[in-house]
Chains A and B, each alone.
Chain A
Amino acid sequence: MTAAPADTGTAIGMSGVTVRFTSRRSQTTALDDVSLDIEPGEFVTIVGPSGCGKSTLLKIIAGLVTPTSGAVSLRRRPVRGPQKEIGFVFQKAALLEWRGARANILLQAEMRGMDRALAARRADELIEMTGLTGFEKALPHELSGGMQQRVALCRALLHSPPVLLMDEPFGALDALTREQMNAELHRIWRETDTTVVLVTHSIAEAVFLGTRVVVMSARPGRIIRTFPVELPAHRDYAQVMSDSRFDRLATDLRGLLGSAAANH
C-alpha cells in the first residue's frame, strides 16, 4: 500500500451537493442535494435507475465535475480540481487503442512517474489475478468488452490507491466471470484499507460487495435510502447467496428500486 497513515474521520464527504448541467436547449439537474459521508475502509455500493446521476456522483468525488453547489472532501481535504489519490474505473473502459493490455495498465505508472520495476511486477500480478494472462500484448480492439473492463480495473489498481471509485466495472462480464471478479475485488478490499465506492446495476453485486448500499432516485438524483449490509466482513460468494439476510436486503432493494424507477 501507499504510505497512507491510518485514517481517522471521513474518507469521502459530500454535503448538499447539487449538480446542474446547462446546455443551450435544456437544463438537467443530475444530482439534487446529495449528502453522503464515507468512512475510511468502507465499501459503499450505489444503485439507482439509469440516468440518475451515479456516474456524475463519482466524477464529483474525483474532482472531474464541479458541483453547482455543495461541498466535497476527499481524505479530509476539500476537493478542488482533479484528485490523484484515487483509482478510477470509468463506465467505458477508456483504454488507449494503440497500447496493448499490459502497456495500458502501465500507463498509470508512466503518468505518475512510478518506479518501473515495481510497477511492472505489480502489473504482472494484476494480469494474472484478473485472468488476462496470454493477452498482455493484445490491443483493445482485439479484446472482448469484459477483458477491456478487466484491463481498466488493473490500471485503476496498479498504484494501490487509498480510494477506489468504480463505475459499473463489471457490466460487460458474463455471470461467472463477474462472480469471480466480485470475489477478487472483495479480497483486495479486505486485505487493504482501501475505501471503495462502486456503482452497479446488479443488486446481488451491490449486496455482496457493500458494507453499505446507497439507493438513488430517478432524475433528479437524490439518495432515497442507505442500507447497512449486515453480513460478515469476510464473505464467500456461495455462502452470501444462500444467506437469509442477503435475500431480505435484496428484496427490499428491488422493491425500492422498482418504485424509484416508476416515479421516473
Chain B
Amino acid sequence: MTENALDTAGRRAGSPATGGVGPSPVAGLPPGSGGRPPRPTLGRRAATFADSLWRPALVLAAFVAAWWFVAAREYVPNYLVPTPGQVWETMTGQWSELARHTVVTLYETVFGFVLAAALGLATAVAIAYSRTLDKALYPIVLFAQVIPKIAIAPLLVVWFGLGLTPKIILAVLIAFFPVVISGVAGLRSTDPELLDLAATMGAGPWRTFRKIRFPNALPHLMAGLKVAVTLAVVGAVVGEFVGASEGLGYVLLLANGNLDAPLLFADLILMSAIGIVLFVLVEIAEALLIPWHASRRAGVSLTTS
C-alpha cells in the first residue's frame, strides 16, 4: 500500500518539462507547484470507513444495553419484548430454517432490484433522449408511483399465485421509481457545452452516451440505486405478507400469530441485515465505479451522499 503510494509519487515527480519542440523553442513552462494531493488509498478509505462506523456502533450498543435492561428486568413482559439472549438463542437454534427463509427473501429482493435497475435505467434513457417519450412516459411513471403499491399486492397474488413472481414484481414496482427519477436527473445534468463538444468531435449518439452522458449520470444514478435497494426489501417482504409459504415476511406473520416474540425479533433483525448488506454492496460498487466522485468529497462521511 505505502510502497504503491510512494511509487506513484516518484513517477509524478520525475521527467521535468523539456521545452518546446519547434524552431523557436519556448522554455518549459513552470512545472506547476509541486504535485497534487494523493488520491485516497484503499487503506485510508478503510480508515475513514472505520472512523465513520464507531459512533453509530456506540449508539447501537447503548440501545441494545437499554433493551437488555428493560427486557431482563421485565419492565415489559417477555412475550412482548424478549431479551437479546432469547433472540440470540432462537436465531442460533432455528438457524437452518431461518437461513432458508432469508435466502428466499434475499433472492426476491436482489432479483427485483436488478430488474428495477435495468428497467428504470432504460426508461430514464428513453425519457431523457426523446421529448415524445418524455411526455408519454413521465406522467405514467408518476401515476404508477402514486398508486399505493402495497395495495396492489393482493391483486398480484391473485394473478401470479403464491410463488416468487408476485414478490419480485412488487419489489420491482417499488424500487423502479427512484431509479428512473435519479437516472433522468443524471442524464439531464450533462453540461450542454459537453454535448456541443461531442458534436464537434463528430461522435454519434452512442459514443456520446457511453463516454459522456452515462458516466456523467452515474453519481445521480448510484444515489437512486441506494434508495432503490432498500425499497426492494420492503417490496419483497410485503409480497410475502400477502401470500407466501416461505420467506422472512411469511415467518414474521407466523411468529406474530404464535406470539413468538423472540422469533419475531430474530426475523426483523435478518430483514434489516439484508437491507444493510445490499446497501453496503451498492456503496462499494459506487466507490469502484466512480472513484473520481468519491475523491471529490473525500473527507465527507461515506454513508451520506
Contact surface of A with B, Cβ cutoff 8 Å: 59, 62-64, 82-84, 86-88, 90, 92, 94, 96-99, 107-108, 110-112, 125, 128-131, 133-135, 138-139, 141-144, 147, 176-177, 180, 183-184, 187, 191, 236
Is B15 in contact with A134, judged by CB distance below 8 angstroms?
Answer: yes
Known A-B contacts A134-B35, A183-B24, A184-B20; A64 and B200 likewise in contact (beta carbons under 8 Å)? yes
User: Which chain B residues (235-286) contact chain A, with CB distance < 8 Å?
Assistant: none
CA distance A176 to B30 in the complex (A): 10
Is A112 in contact with B203, judged by CB distance below 8 angstroms?
Answer: yes
- 20 extra interchain contacts, Cβ-Cβ under 8 A, other than A94-B197, A128-B18? A64-B199, A82-B202, A83-B200, A87-B200, A88-B196, A90-B193, A90-B196, A97-B296, A111-B211, A133-B28, A133-B31, A134-B15, A134-B16, A138-B36, A139-B292, A142-B37, A177-B30, A180-B27, A180-B29, A184-B20
Closest chain A CB from B217 CB (angstroms) = 11
CA distance A97 to B193 in the complex (A): 13
Type the 1/0 row for B8-47, where 1 means its CB is closer than 8 Å to any CB of A: 0000111111101111101111111001110000000000
Q: Verify if B122 is at the interface (C-beta below 8 Å from A).
A: no
Q: Verify if B185 is at the interface (C-beta below 8 Å from A).
A: no
Is B28 in contact with A94, judged by CB distance below 8 angstroms?
Answer: no
Type the 1/0 row for B274-305, where 1 means its CB is closer than 8 Å to any CB of A: 00000000000000001011011000000000
Is B191 in contact with A129, judged by CB distance below 8 angstroms?
Answer: no
Q: Could you list some 6 contacts between A and B, CB below 8 A?
A: A59-B196, A87-B200, A96-B212, A98-B216, A98-B293, A129-B21
What residues of chain B lie closer than 8 Å to A62, measured between beta carbons?
A: 196, 200
User: Which of A59, A96, A112 is in CB contact (< 8 Å) with B215?
Assistant: A96
CA distance A59 to B195 in the complex (A): 13
CA distance A117 to B17 in the complex (A): 22
Chain B residue with the shortest CB-CB distance to A95: B194
CA distance A133 to B37 in the complex (A): 16
Is B202 in contact with A184, judged by CB distance below 8 angstroms?
Answer: no
Q: Verify if B104 is at the interface (C-beta below 8 Å from A).
A: no
What residues of chain A lie closer than 8 Å to B17, measured between beta carbons?
A: 128, 131, 133-134
User: Which of A86, A99, A180 is in CB contact (< 8 Å) with B26?
Assistant: A180
User: Which of B202, B216, B292 is in CB contact (< 8 Å) with A111?
Assistant: B202
- Output the residue of B21, B32, B198, B200 with the most chain A CB within 10 A: B200
CA distance A208 to B198 in the complex (A): 31
What residues of chain B lie closer than 8 Å to A59, measured between beta carbons?
A: 196
Is B30 in contact with A131, judged by CB distance below 8 angstroms?
Answer: yes
Is A98 in contact with B37, judged by CB distance below 8 angstroms?
Answer: no
- Output the residue of A92, A108, A142, A143 with the most chain B CB within 10 A: A142
Chain B residue with the shortest CB-CB distance to A64: B196
What residues of chain A lie closer than 8 Å to B6, measured between beta carbons?
A: none
Q: Verify if B73 is at the interface (C-beta below 8 Å from A).
A: no
Type the 1/0 row for B182-223, where 1 means its CB is closer than 8 Å to any CB of A: 000000000101101111111100011001100110000000
What residues of chain A lie closer than 8 Å to B30, measured between beta carbons?
A: 131, 176-177
CA distance A135 to B30 in the complex (A): 13
User: Which chain B residues (121-145) contact chain A, with CB distance < 8 Å?
Assistant: none
Chain A residue with the shortest CB-CB distance to B208: A111
Closest chain B CB from A241 CB (angstroms) = 16
Is A92 in contact with B193, judged by CB distance below 8 angstroms?
Answer: yes
Chain A residue with the shortest CB-CB distance to B18: A128
What residues of chain A lie closer than 8 Å to B193, measured between beta carbons?
A: 90, 92, 94
What residues of chain A lie closer than 8 Å to B13, measured between beta carbons?
A: 134
What residues of chain B lie closer than 8 Å to A84, measured between beta carbons?
A: 199-202
User: Which of B16, B36, B199, B215 is in CB contact (< 8 Å) with A82?
Assistant: B199
Closest chain B CB from A41 CB (angstroms) = 17
Closest chain A CB from B199 CB (angstroms) = 3
Closest chain A CB from B291 CB (angstroms) = 8
Known A-B contacts A82-B199, A92-B193, A111-B207; A191 and B31 likewise in contact (beta carbons under 8 Å)? no
User: Which of B23, B35, B201 is in CB contact (< 8 Å) with A108?
Assistant: B201
What residues of chain B lie closer than 8 Å to A141, measured between beta carbons?
A: 296
CA distance A82 to B26 in the complex (A): 34
CA distance A176 to B12 in the complex (A): 24
What residues of chain B lie closer than 8 Å to A131, measured between beta carbons?
A: 17, 28-32
